[in-house]
Structure 1
Amino acid sequence: MLRAPPGHSTLNRTQTNFGKRCTLRSALRMLGLHLLERIWLMDKRLGVTALTLALASLCALAQAQDAPIAVPAAAIQAETSDVRDMDTVVVTGVQPGPGLWRVRRGENTLYILGTQSPLPKAISWRSDEVREVLADAGVVLGPPGVSIGSDIGMFRGLTMLPAAMRASRNPDGATLEELLPVEVYQRWSVLKARYIGRDRGIERKRPAIAVYELYRAALDANGLREGRVISPVLDEVLKARGMTLTPTMLKVKVDDPRAALADFRKEGLKPEDVSCMRDTLDVIERGLPQVAARANAWAVGDLDVLRATAGQGSQVRACMSALLQSEAARKRGLDGLEAQVRAHWLAAADDALAKHRVSFATLSIDDLLGTAGYLAALRPRVDTVLAPDEADVVEDEDAARSGAATP
């Protein structure tokens, strides 16, 4: 069975934290829907997901801890499986990360750290460069995304929690075996036995949620993890400086979360759900070496590998497509927010560059390396954009003049 860390999502914690600002991530953690939370962390530019829109009623509930639910590695292995743990060596020890992008307008600079998930779980990030920038930063921007809220009180939020939990499961108590094509379910069963074991509850969860729990268990078994590398450093420095993260999330209000929740719970299996399951199973069966190589590349700062593998992760896109096809989202006009989310973040970046000599932000590494990401959209609005491996001519010339003037 899946088990939460002590104190995670308990009623006492819910009541204590009631009234805090609700974010998409907090609602996801309350439900333990790590598929959506982790996709959100990996690729925030995709904006809101349909499931979390339907679960907007939970936005009055508590923000939960950063610790993920522990998924035990399975001791059981199906004899018919030819699936093997990856043979790629995952790096360990202190690693530098990829360095910082520099976005310059006039004399002001926005430093951006590219984030990547998963990462090797046995690394320690050498964050000296980031700490130096944070020490001078006038503002630190949070990642782009959507903050979903609704004006419901404490009592109503608690009474809707059981219904929200049911929304994570298939309608009418259907099992994955009943819903999925035979060949897909056979593949799922083999991998579930290998990495999760005898968890009957997961068999009634929606395919996208179930398969991502499996994916996380496979990552753990192969020396990888998601999250908890960068945010602790940012939190530590900001706390020491008495600063807070400046949110860049687009705020969206759902007027009738109960109706949204009810609509989503009625929705059955879609072709996109099956595609999500297939693509993620492909990664678990054969793609983990590539996942590890990309994680290693971020850890050691190998931008060539990161550039060569930019845009990989079709299983994430398939899962997002499945979730964004929700009728509950379409009915509320909440299925086309990506452009608004991007515009909202770009406005925050513009403001930072206009007001502060030094500012700092984080973005998905793909958004920094791709031709259609946030950085590409920011380029026409600034003077210079430099990758970590590109020389800064202005700084080099200043250093040379300073050296020449030294007796």
Structure 2
Amino acid sequence: MLKRVLPALCLALPALSALAQTEAPPAAADAEAGAVPEQILVVGQKPGPGLWKVSKDGHVLWVFGTYSPLPHKMEWRSQQVESILAQSQEYLTPPGAHASVGFFGGLALLPNLIGLKKNPDGATLKDVLPADVYARWLPLKAKYLGDDDGIERERPIFAAETLFSAGLKKAGLSKGYEVQRKLDDIIKQHKIKVVKTSIELPLEDPSKMLKEFKQSQLADTACFSKTLERLEGDIDAMRVRANAWAKGDLEAIQKLSYPDQETECGDAMRGAEFTKTRPGFQNVKERMQAAWLGAAEKALAANGSTFATLRLADILKPDGYLAALKAKGYTVESPD
């Protein structure tokens, strides 16, 4: 539980760990989202999208765009990705932020984890949510979670995480972790140097931080509401986007917009009182991007070929990571 909850408290991350990578690229108008062209998830072996090529002076950074959720029964296999990754000198990990307390520090924190996900003062979801939002929650809870009354005492942000995961599972979707596991196997097999690009968040007094979190309120109603909105009307579109990624059809992904609960959920944590008094937890998204860009430029200067993975959202948005490299004078080419 410590490994799950503590990173969430370090959030200052772009979104909750359990919701990570569900963000789609900036999308076109919703007019095209009304007609969902397919319902059946692709199964079997699929390649996913091609690679973005960032280059300068004969040095190349290959970037693979990851996406979630993906079809549960899909087996990912891309000969292009495998070949280029195997010939690269370094692999850059995705941007991130983490905090470490060590083994014994973790043991000391265990008593403070009890009740961490609960609302302060024994409040229930009905107590902390607007009546109309709670009314929307009840049928979705019945559909995806059944008679789980214990979740009624959890904070909205954690209840939303549980509900969303259950909704994905019922829709035949998964978080897509298998893709990263395959990449890790190739990296290990070819003994490719791994360059960690994540930043570390300082935890001078993690026990105090946990206590403050348990006592503080979170402005997480918007996160909860956006999650409901996705499950109410976006499941079919999520299936289409999952199929599109598996087939390498980026155009289809971009045509389907959706309610963005990630931003709302991330803001709820980043704006919480327990982070405002900690300088090390400020401007985390900007620091993450700066750290990754620094690692990318260093790798481009040193290696003939470097491989990296980024979320599609971070690749395609106008102010994303590859746009920043392009602004610095690098040539950026999209997959064919």
User: If the length of structure 2 is used for normalisation, what is the TM-score?
Assistant: 0.88
Q: Which amino acid aligns with 1:343?
A: A
Secondary structure of 2:54's match?
strand
Q: Which amino acid aligns with 1:36?
A: L
Distance 1:173 1:208, change over 3 A: same
Q: Which amino acid aligns with 2:58?
A: E
CA drift of 1:99 comes to: 0.8
Give yes or no for the alignment of 1:100 onto 2:47. no
Select 1:371's aligned residue among 313, 318, 322. Answer: 318
Select 2:126's aligned residue among 158, 169, 177. Answer: 177
Match of 1:168 in 2: 117
Q: Is the 8 A contact 2:54 2:331 kept in 1?
A: yes
Q: Which amino acid aligns with 2:209?
A: A
Where do 1:243-254 residues align within 5 Å? 243-254=192-203
Distance 1:165 1:364, change over 3 A: farther
Q: Which amino acid aligns with 1:229?
A: E
Select 1:127's aligned residue among 78, 86, 110. Answer: 78
CA drift of 1:42 comes to: 4.3
Where do 1:197-346 residues align within 5 Å? 197-270=146-219, 273-309=220-256, 312-333=258-279, 334-346=281-293
Q: Distance in 2 between matches of 1:87 and 1:198?
A: 32
Q: Residues 294-348 of structure 1: CA distance to partner in whole angstroms, max 9, x if unpaired?
A: 11111111121233347x4511111112121111111102132221111110000
CA drift of 1:244 comes to: 4.8
Match of 1:351 in 2: 298
Q: Is the 8 A contact 2:117 2:154 kept in 1?
A: yes
Give yes or no for the alignment of 1:109 onto 2:60. yes
Give yes or no for the alignment of 1:38 onto 2:25. no
Q: Is the 8 A contact 1:106 1:383 kept in 2?
A: no
Which stretches of structure 1, 4 residues or longer, exceed 6 Å deviation after superposition?
A: none
Aligned residues: 317
CA drift of 1:173 comes to: 2.1
Q: Residues 111-162 of structure 1: CA distance to partner in whole angstroms, max 9, x if unpaired?
A: 0001111111111112211110111110000000112234x661x4213213
Where do 1:50-129 residues align within 5 Å? 88-129=39-80
Q: Which runs of 5+ in 1 are unaligned?
A: 1-8, 15-23, 30-34, 44-85, 390-407
Distance 1:41 1:245, change over 3 A: farther
Q: Distance in 1 between matches of 2:114 and 2:79?
A: 42
Match of 2:327 in 1: 380
Q: Residues 231-277 of structure 1: CA distance to partner in whole angstroms, max 9, x if unpaired?
A: 1111111221233532100122121112211111111242xx11111
Secondary structure of 1:88's match?
coil
Secondary structure of 1:137's match?
coil
Distance 1:221 1:241, change over 3 A: same
Q: Is the 8 A contact 1:139 1:352 kept in 2?
A: yes
Q: Which amino acid aligns with 1:314?
A: D
Percent of aligned positions that are identical: 37
Distance 1:235 1:25, change over 3 A: farther
Q: Distance in 1 between matches of 2:291 and 2:80?
A: 27
Q: Which amino acid aligns with 2:208?
A: A
Q: Which amino acid aligns with 1:246?
A: V
Question: Aligned-pair RMSD on alpha carbons?
Answer: 2.3
CA drift of 1:87 comes to: 7.4
Distance 1:345 1:179, change over 3 A: same
Rg (Cα) greater in structure: 1
Q: Which runs of 5+ in 2 are unaligned?
A: 9-14, 24-36
Distance 1:287 1:206, change over 3 A: same
Distance 1:228 1:126, change over 3 A: same
Secondary structure of 2:99's match?
strand
Q: Residues 199-227 of structure 1: CA distance to partner in whole angstroms, max 9, x if unpaired?
A: 22211111011112111111111111113
Give yes or no for the alignment of 1:139 onto 2:96. no
CA drift of 1:382 comes to: 4.0
Q: Distance in 1 between matches of 2:91 and 2:180?
A: 12
Q: Distance in 2 between matches of 1:357 and 1:294?
A: 34
Q: Distance in 2 between matches of 1:381 and 1:87?
A: 40
